[in-house]
Amino acid sequence: MPSTRITVNPDSAIHKELYCRLYSTTHAPRYTTTPTNCTTPTGLGKRYPVVESMFLDQKSQPYVHDAHVEVDHNGVTYSFQVYFKRGVVLAQNHLAPELQSSVVITRLSQVDGTTVINAHRSAEERDVMDFVFEQLRPTIAHFQTKKYFTKRALEFQY
Q: Going residue by residue through the chain (158 aa), what tens digit of pLDDT does each one get? A: 445 555 555 555 567 889 999 998 888 999 999 888 877 776 667 788 888 878 876 666 678 888 899 999 888 889 999 998 887 678 888 888 888 888 999 999 888 878 888 898 899 999 999 999 999 888 888 887 776 666 666 777 76
What are phi and psi for residue 38, nearest 5 degrees?
-110, 150
Helix (H, G, I), strand (E, B) or coil at 135: helix
Q: How far apart are the first and last CA of the chain?
A: 26
> Cα–Cα distance between 120 and 47 in angstroms, integer?
16
Helix (H, G, I), strand (E, B) or coil at 66: strand
Question: What are the contacts of 36-45 at 24+ separation with CB within 8 A?
Answer: 36/116, 37/7, 37/8, 37/10, 37/13, 38/8, 38/13, 38/14, 39/8, 39/13, 40/14, 41/14, 42/14, 43/14, 43/16
Helix (H, G, I), strand (E, B) or coil at 109: coil
> Cα–Cα distance between 38 and 14 in angstroms, integer?
5
The model carries a pTM of: 0.83
